[in-house]
């Protein structure tokens, strides 16, 4: 019963490097999203998707790209990392129908950009 | 847009009750959730309440909902050191895909 799986758990990047944070869910959820969590700022929504082939921007999308080619996967790409992107990143998924639509979170990716 | 507000810190003595408060702006919110985040982990659902309920009790947890004032609270009875965590209030309405989270309340339990 995997739920939402994020990889890697930790990553250190140099400024200007690119990387992809992986997120996969096995619950057939339509909705998937990426948040970043910074001290005192709570969770801020980066991008979200309501189904394969559909993505949209959240509150803080600049510097990040996403795609949703399958229901299961929702990778987050940093094209040119900046120190301001040092944060903890969480992927979450939830169903869009069926009443109670609890969100399920991954364990997080701690990213440091030096 | 929708906004969810909660205080950032709460400190209690072990064995006392903790009350974490939350206010939200969308009166059409259908479900209201409390998530718990332990150090180094993701958020996990602690409990939720449907908008047509006033109160929900689950062992040491009591959720109170005042729809008129759009106010939600989480009471933890007999608070233990293992309850130390960040607690997020969250609202979800039928009109939006996106759940709205508060900034989280850090609960510190000291002996």
Q: Per residue in B22-53, pLDDT tens? A: 999 887 877 899 999 999 899 999 999 988 88
Q: Which of B62, B2, B58 is nearest to B30 (CA)?
A: B2
pLDDT tens for each residue of A15-30:
999 999 999 999 999 9
Strands A64-66 and A54-57: unpaired
Both tokens of B44, joined, read 């996990």
Q: Give contacts of B42 with chain A, Cβ < 8 Å.
A: 4, 90, 105-108
> Which residues of chain A are within 8 Å of residue B104 when distances are taken between CB atoms?
42-43
Q: Which chain B residues are closer than 8 Å to A103 by Cβ?
A: 33, 35, 43, 45, 90, 99
Question: What confidence category does residue A41 fall into, taking pLDDT thresholds of 50, 70 and 90?
Answer: confident
User: What letters, b where the CB count within 10 A reaches 16 and e where it falls short, cover B65-100?
Assistant: beeeebebbbbbeebeeebbbbbbbbbbbeeebbbb
pLDDT confidence of residue A86: 98
Contact A42 B97 (CB under 8 A): no
Query: Which positions 52-81 of A are in contact with B (Cβ < 8 Å)?
Result: 58
Q: Are the C-beta atoms of residues A38 and A44 closer than 8 Å to each other?
A: yes
Q: What is the pLDDT of residue B95?
A: 64
Cβ distance of B31 and A101 shorter than 8 Å: yes
CB–CB of B50 and A103 under 8 A?
Answer: no
Mean pLDDT over A89-95 rounds to 95
Q: Report, as an integer, the average pLDDT of A1-28.
A: 95
- Nearest-by-Cβ selection for A96 from B8, B33, B97: B97
- Which of A21, A23, A59, A105 is the best mutation test for B, with the most CBs of B within 10 A? A105
Mean pLDDT of chain A: 94
pLDDT at B94: 63
């Amino acid at each position: 019963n995997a739920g939402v799986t994020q990889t890697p758990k930790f990553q250190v990047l140099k400024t200007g490097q690119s990387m992809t944070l992986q997120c996969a869910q096995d619950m057939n959820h339509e909705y998937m999203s990426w948040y970043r969590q910074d001290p005192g700022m709570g969770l801020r929504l980066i991008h979200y998707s309501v189904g394969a082939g559909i993505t949209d921007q959240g509150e803080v999308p600049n510097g990040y790209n996403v795609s949703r080619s399958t229901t299961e996967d929702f990778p987050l790409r940093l094209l040119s990392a900046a120190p301001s992107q040092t944060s903890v990143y969480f992927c979450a998924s939830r169903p869009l129908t069926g009443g109670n639509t609890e969100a399920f979170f991954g364990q997080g990716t701690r990213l440091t950009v030096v | 847009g929708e906004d969810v507000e909660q205080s950032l810190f709460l400190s209690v003595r072990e064995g006392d009750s903790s009350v974490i408060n939350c206010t939200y702006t969308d009166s059409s919110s259908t479900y209201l959730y409390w998530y718990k985040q332990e150090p180094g982990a993701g958020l996990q659902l602690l409990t939720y309440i449907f908008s047509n309920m006033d109160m929900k009790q689950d062992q040491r947890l009591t959720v109170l909902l005042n729809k008129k004032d759009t106010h939600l609270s989480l009471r933890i009875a007999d608070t233990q050191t293992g309850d130390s965590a960040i607690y997020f209030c969250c609202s979800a309405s039928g009109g939006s895909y996106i759940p709205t989270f508060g900034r989280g309340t850090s609960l510190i339990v000291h002996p």
